[in-house]
Amino acid sequence: MCRVVAVKSTTPIQLAHLLTRPRHSIINQAFDSRLRLDLRRPINGDGFGVGWYGSVVGERLGHQPCLFKSITPAWNNSNLNRIAEKTKSPLVFGHVRATTAGSLSQDNCHPWSYEKIMFMHNGGIAEFDKIKRKLQASLSDELFLVPQGNTDSEWAFALYLSKLPDVHAREFSPAKPFEHLNELAREANITEPSLLNFFVTDGSTIVASRYISSKYDEAASLLSLCHPRSEYAPGGHYRMSKSDKRENIIMVASEPLTFEKADWMEIKMNTLIGGHVTCRTQAVTLAMLK
């Protein structure tokens, strides 16, 4: 399973404070098994990606997020270290990959973006090879050509986009992509459960799901923390902890990213939340495959 984090803040945060410096960031947990809060997770060294929305609106990318991806491990990447020190953003996605499907290439690193929508996935679509053709057939010509890599996750992104009324719309029936994937699995007699923790944003709102298509198994973990604060710990190490002051930040992640695990709230299984910076989340319950 991969390690993921999504953050939204009213004031832009320095990427280094989220990704490269905190002792329990997704990158440092990926690197050092002694720091891992969940020891069952394997190593995440198969590339990584970071996406963020900034202040520069370009002719080509417009309001699209900036993406930085690499096939070398995140914990030893000079470019990431420098960019993270020099970049601030109010909305950041980070993803450290552990390969389940797809080769090691930047095309296969999360997150992906299309227009201003950004997407990443933690989990896997069960026996994806059996439904790949039907999933592709359901896409419009435009969206069929969007994926550049060969992962189940990137095709799930295309499917997700296809369920939006249009890519600029803020509202849509959030259960539809899940229902469609369940339907495809049913038709292909797939019984192995799919783990569909999706993270989507349009640059202002984050939507995240914690979902498994079976009611007998456990979904991949998903937790959230409101109002975290980053600070230098006494020993010199950088740490992140829950803030006393009410800074308007919400983090959603695959594992607790602060030493105080208990601060983190577990997202209920088979739920899709719309995270707002006020930390009030709307939860939608999603139907399971069986």
User: Is-catalytic flag, 2?
Assistant: yes
Query: From start to end of the chain, where are the E strands?
Result: 3-14, 48-52, 66-70, 88-96, 112-114, 117-124, 195-201, 206-210, 223-226, 228-232, 238-242, 249-253, 265-266, 271-275, 281-285
Count of beta carbons in the 10 Å neighbourhood of residue 139: 17
- Residues β-bridged to residue 255: none
Decide: is 237 part of the binding site for a second copy (CB under 8 A).
no
- Among 11, 34, 189, 235, the residue binding a second copy under the rule CB under 8 A is 34
> Shortest gap between Cβ of 269 and a second copy (angstroms)?
25
> Shortest gap between Cβ of 132 and a second copy (angstroms)?
7
Site for a second copy in 53-82 (CB under 8 A): 54, 56, 58-61, 66-73, 75-79, 82
Residues 105-144, one symbol each (x = binds a second copy by CB under 8 A, - = not), give xxx---------------------x--xx--x----x--x
Write phi, then psi, for 71 (nearest 5 degrees).
Answer: -95, -5
Number of residues that bind a second copy (CB under 8 A): 54
| Residue linked to tokens 């495959």 | 289
Q: Half-sphere exposure of residue 248, counting CA atoms within 13 Å on the CB side? A: 11
Three-class SS state of 83: helix
Residues 12-31, one symbol each (x = binds a second copy by CB under 8 A, - = not), give --x-x--------------x
- Among 10, 32, 173, 282, the residue binding a second copy under the rule CB under 8 A is 32
> Shortest gap between Cβ of 111 and a second copy (angstroms)?
12
CB 253 within 8 A of CB 223: yes
CB 15 within 8 A of CB 50: yes
> Shortest gap between Cβ of 270 and a second copy (angstroms)?
28
Question: What residues are annotated to the active site?
Answer: 2
The residues of the shown chain that bind a second copy, judged by CB under 8 A, are 14, 16, 31-34, 39, 42-43, 45-46, 54, 56, 58-61, 66-73, 75-79, 82-83, 85-88, 99, 102-107, 129, 132-133, 136, 141, 144-145, 147-150
